[in-house]
Amino acid sequence: MVRDTNRHFKFDWITIFLFFLLVGFGWLNILSASHVGTDINYFDLSQPYGKQLVFIFLNLILIVLVLAIDAKFYERFASIIYIISMLSLVGLFIFGKNVNGATSWYGIGSFTIQPSEFAKSAAALAVAKHLSDLNTNIKTFKDQLRTFAIIGIPAVLVLLQNDTGSTIVYGAFIYVLFREGLPKAYLITAFSAIILAILSLKFGFIAASMVALVVVVAMHYFRKKPFRIYQSVFIVIAAIAISFVVKFFYQSILQPHQQDRISLWLRLEKDPAKLEAMKKTFAYNLNESEKAISSGGFTGKGFLEGTRTTGKFVPEQHTDYIFSTVGEEWGFIGCAFVVITFVLLLLRILHLAELQKSQFSRVYGYSVAAIIFIHFFVNIGMVMGLIPTIGIPLPMFSYGGSGLWAFTILLFIFIKLDSNRINEW
């Protein structure tokens, strides 16, 4: 592909356009979700919409900075960026500020910053750097272990800070590793484990074990290379073990609110009175957000016209539940627009990643797509009640400076790398 080599035009404008589309539409919805009364002062810094506008302006400077830095810098300094980022996470244990039960913020006056948002970019850089190293072979167990360590360290650190949502995001890297040659077995094992976990929670471990057994027997007959007996026995025992562990994990390790979320999602609670009580407590957000979305209908109630949004029925609506505002005020059309924009953005990034000539850029690009995808899937899925409640923001859309800047850095590093594509070789 021949590209205009002029510095000003080599950036992928489609990605940039989709990015700004989401940021702009996101801000309109933050305005809707957070305004009070009818007179709106756009630069009112006491209101989320005013602050977000400032974040967006500062973000423009950030973009220029990210794009101005030489592409080679990111690859060369990936390890250092990673180490600094990890230190910033560790520092939270000492200096961190606790907000809503998670110790994820540094507070400087009224200004707070959430290093875990930036750690995702750092991890992506580090993974890209590691995998693109000529000495690394992902097919070897040693390198797999190293890679998992790079991903695992931030994941565990944020988990210890009680930010479960961010931990789950690191699961996105399985897409990246698989793309780069991680054996299928990992994927199958991970996928089977998730299915088994759900089955055993929903129907009990006996049912889960029976399903595992049936699958193994089926595999035995239909596979080109049948399992050996000890393999089959191992798999079934592993399945039973997983079931037990999951049950134990669910009942003894998970915090009550997490248990409740899973129980609601899997419809484990049958008593209508308790279900009704759930709707008033921890399921309140979900219930209200689903209602808000539902009430939007096909065309929505119109910008600033959502009665549930105006009445602040959905808590955290300008942050994690921002999609419910889209649902109520812009209806099916607006929601479909957002979903399609995200899908287009992701596909564009994937497409660009595949075009990269350097493995570093490709792995990084893939990581960007995977991280944004997991956020997109988990956040919108949660708001619409498809998956259990997990508190992570909708990229580019939700209110929050750290989140916006982190995603900007994440994405624009890739845009910079992509612009440098023809200079590779």
Partner 1 sequence: MRQLLLFISVISVGILFISRLFYLQIYKTDANNLFEDNAIRKVYDYPKRGFVYDRNGKLLVANQPTYDVMVIPREVKPLDTLEFCKLLKITKEDFVKKYDKAYHYSPRLPSPFVPQLSKEDYAVLQEKMRKFEGFYIQKRSLRDYQTTIGANVLGDIGEVNYATINKNPYYRMGDLIGKQGVEASYEDILRGVKGIKFIQKDRFNRNIGPYKDGKFDTIPEQGKDITITIDAHLQAYGELLMKNKRGGVIALEPKTGEILAMVAAPTYDPNILVGRNRSKNFTKLYNDTIAKPLFNRSLQGVYEPGSPFKLMNALIALQEGVMDENEHVTCYRGYKYGNRFMKCHCNYGTRNDMVSGIQRSCNAYFATAYRKILDKNGSASDGIDVWSKHAKSFGLGNFLNNDLFVGQKGRIPDRDYYKHIYPKTFYSTYTISNAIGQGEVATTPIQLANMAAAIANRGYFYTPHIIKHIEGETLPENFAKPKFTTINREHFEPVIDGMLAVYEKGTASSLRVKDIDICGKTGTVENFIKIDSVKTQLTDHSIFVAFAPKENPKIAIAVFVENGYWGSRFAGKVASLMIEKHIKGEITRTDLEDWLLRHTLEDEYAKPYSGEPFKINGYTTLQTVDEKTYSLLKQKLNQLNNTED
Footprint of partner 1 (CB under 8 A):
37-38, 175, 178-179, 181, 187, 288, 290, 293-298, 301, 305, 307-308, 310-315, 327, 331-332, 335-336, 339-340, 342-343, 346-347, 350, 354, 366, 369-370, 373, 376-377, 380-381, 384, 386
Nearest distance, CB of residue 109 and partner 1, angstroms: 30
Nearest distance, CB of residue 170 and partner 1, angstroms: 15
Residues 6+ apart with CB under 8 A from 187: 174, 178
DSSP 3-state assignment of 97? strand
Judged by CB, which is closer to partner 1: 78, or 293? 293
Judged by CB, which is closer to partner 1: 159, or 384? 384
Judged by CB, which is closer to partner 1: 44, or 290? 290
Nearest distance, CB of residue 38 and partner 1, angstroms: 7
Judged by CB, which is closer to partner 1: 210, or 355? 355
Judged by CB, which is closer to partner 1: 38, or 110? 38
Nearest distance, CB of residue 396 and partner 1, angstroms: 16
CB atoms within 10 A of CB 69: 13
Judged by CB, which is closer to partner 1: 27, or 342? 342
- Report the distance separating Cα 12 and Cα 414, nearest Å: 10
Nearest distance, CB of residue 236 and partner 1, angstroms: 27
Q: How many helical (H) and strand (E) elements, i.e. helices and strands, does the chain have?
A: 18, 3
Residue type, 37: G
Nearest distance, CB of residue 255 and partner 1, angstroms: 25
Judged by CB, which is closer to partner 1: 246, or 293? 293
**298 within 8 A of 425, measured Cβ to Cβ:** no
- Report the distance separating Cα 316 and Cα 330, nearest Å: 19
Judged by CB, which is closer to partner 1: 255, or 299? 299
Q: According to DSSP H, which parts of 161-222 are helical?
A: 164-169, 173-179, 184-203, 205-222
Nearest distance, CB of residue 333 and partner 1, angstroms: 9
- Report the distance separating Cα 31 and Cα 321, nearest Å: 13
Residue type, 418: D
DSSP secondary structure letter of residue 112: E
Nearest distance, CB of residue 320 and partner 1, angstroms: 16
Q: According to DSSP H, which parts of 283-425 are helical?
A: 284-296, 307-310, 322-355, 359-383, 401-419
Residues 6+ apart with CB under 8 A from 346: 369, 372, 373, 376
- Residue 267's nearest CA partner among 203, 323, 339 is 203
**53 within 8 A of 44, measured Cβ to Cβ:** no
